[in-house]
């Protein structure tokens, strides 16, 4: 992994870390690297509703055009729409300008290849090498007819994506009331149109983006307003997306949250009942709830476990042939339909499970018993992020907790990928008991390895 691209593209505060100069050079470098594979590469660019999106989009576009690449602009679109439309338009790459569920000041630039998957590490490193000055941009620049051109296909792209989403739903929703929370983000136009086309009565919140209100006390990370709205409107279901609409959090008709773990279980059971759960396998991360594992095993399937992060979930699914996987956060991949998490697609699949079983959201949710889960962070020195793993006293403390839990819970300690923290996660049937265990264990780690 290079120094510029993180696990999810190039991220930072817009116009401070992620400047138009950097975006321009990313565009130039991408056109050069992709130009080695295709004489005049075409790049699809989509964005969420952040104020800085226009600035970064235009800078990227200028960079790509200046090196002879072509740009297909599709405007404000969910991340998974870009991954889909790259293939429809036979482009060599897709770029999403979004910082997902982060506040509006942040932004990011994320690349997909021509198949709709994340760029390979080799291509990312090749692009990086120009930005970091390890390789020089060519002195001879394209001129005249060799320059690239831009076309705006945003209206057509929106229609194509809506048709694609509708093709995954084999039902209509007459006499159903659905509340959509679009997080003032990328789904605000598309999601309501999809559910209206399916015949539902649609109530929408978070559908008035102004450039600075994306994810602001709304969306999949803040579902409180959605819960209130579902109850007030007496709706059948509530569906919350994040800023770039690759996540889904469901709210049932009683106003209770159904997280990603439960949604994956419910949809995996539907696929299993339909004979479509490939290899009887479901993919999840190390953070998935012990109740998730029990549910999947009770339906005769097994769980493939990966590191935290949607890229690892997808890598595992591609290796094993698994067709459903994801995270508690609501980032869920339905591999028969998409190459990445897709909030709107996931919500259509969840409703398919409701239609398929004839059950309400609350009834489906009750079938999956999740255990209480407590997460406590311990701030540590840089050495502490690895040293705790071999510490006999900590190993012994973990073992004592596991004995107390008697197979009805588990302990997971893992270092943060981005901060000087060790995360202590404990699950069990008794919330007060596991809170005490987690706090004591985190305190022990702090005492021995704190900064």
Question: So which residues are the catalytic ones?
Answer: 100
H/E/C letters for each residue in the chain? CCCCCECCEEEEEECCCECHHHHHHHHHHHHHHHHCCCCCCEEEEEECCCCCHHHHHHHHHHHHHHCCCEEEEEEECCHHHHHHHHHHCCCCEEEEECCCCCCCCEEEEEEEECCCCECCHHHHHHHHHHHCCCCCCCCCCCCHHHCCCEEECHHHHHHHHHHHHHCCCCCCCCCCEEEEECCCCCCCCHHHHHHHHCCCEEEEECCCCCCCCCCCCCCCCCCHHHHHHHHHHCCCEEEEECCCCCCEEEECCCCCEECHHHHHHHHHHHHHHCCCCHHHEEEEECCCCHHHHHHHHHCCCEEEEECCCHHHHHHHHHHHCCCEEECCCCCEEECCCCCCCCHHHHHHHHHHHHHHHCCCHHHHHHCCCCCCEEEEEEECCCCHHHHHHHCHHHHHHHHHHHHHHCCCEEEEEEECCCCCEEEEEEEECCHHHHHHHHHHHHHHHHHHHCC
């Amino acid at each position: 992994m290079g120094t510029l691209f993180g696990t999810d593209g190039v991220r930072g505060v817009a116009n401070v870390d992620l400047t138009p100069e950097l975006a321009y050079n990313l565009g130039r470098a991408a056109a050069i690297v992709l130009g080695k594979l295709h004489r005049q590469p075409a790049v699809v660019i989509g964005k969420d509703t952040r104020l800085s999106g226009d600035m970064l989009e235009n800078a990227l576009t200028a960079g790509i055009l200046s090196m002879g690449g072509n740009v297909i602009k599709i405007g404000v679109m969910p991340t998974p729409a870009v991954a889909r439309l790259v293939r429809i338009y036979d482009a060599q790459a897709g770029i999403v300008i979004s910082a997902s569920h982060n506040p509006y000041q942040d932004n990011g630039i994320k690349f997909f290849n021509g198949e709709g998957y994340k760029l390979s590490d080799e291509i990312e490193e090749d692009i990086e090498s120009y930005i970091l000055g390890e390789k020089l941009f060519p002195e001879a620049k394209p001129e005249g007819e060799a320059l690239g051109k831009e076309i705006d296909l945003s209206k057509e792209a929106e229609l194509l994506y809506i048709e694609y989403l509708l093709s995954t739903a084999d039902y209509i929703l007459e006499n159903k009331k659905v509340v959509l929370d679009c997080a003032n983000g990328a789904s605000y136009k598309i999601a309501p149109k999809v559910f209206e086309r399916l015949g539902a009565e649609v109530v929408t919140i978070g559908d008035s983006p102004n450039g600075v209100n994306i994810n602001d006390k709304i969306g999949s990370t803040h579902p409180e307003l959605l819960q209130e709205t579902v109850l007030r409107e007496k709706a059948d279901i509530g569906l919350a997306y994040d800023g770039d609409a690759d996540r889904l959090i469901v709210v049932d008709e009683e106003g209770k949250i159904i997280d990603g773990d439960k949604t994956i279980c419910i949809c995996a059971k539907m696929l299993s009942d339909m004979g479509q759960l490939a290899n009887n396998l479901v993919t999840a991360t190390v953070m998935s709830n012990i109740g998730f594992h029990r549910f999947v095993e009770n339906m005769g399937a097994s769980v493939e476990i990966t590191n935290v992060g949607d890229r690892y979930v997808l890598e595992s699914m591609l290796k094993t042939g698994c067709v459903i996987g994801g995270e508690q956060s609501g980032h869920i991949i339905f591999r028969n339909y998409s190459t990445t998490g897709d909030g709107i697609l996931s919500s259509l699949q969840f409703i398919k499970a409701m239609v398929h079983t004839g059950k309400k959201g609350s009834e489906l949710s009750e079938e999956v018993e999740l255990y209480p889960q407590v997460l406590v962070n311990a701030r540590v020195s840089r050495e502490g992020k690895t040293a705790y793993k071999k510490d006999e006293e900590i190993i012994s403390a973990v073992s004592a907790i596991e004995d107390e839990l008697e197979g009805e819970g588990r302990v997971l300690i893992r270092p943060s990928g981005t901060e000087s923290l060790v995360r202590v996660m404990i699950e069990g049937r008794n919330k007060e008991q596991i809170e005490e265990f987690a706090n004591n264990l985190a305190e022990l780690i702090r005492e021995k390895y704190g900064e």
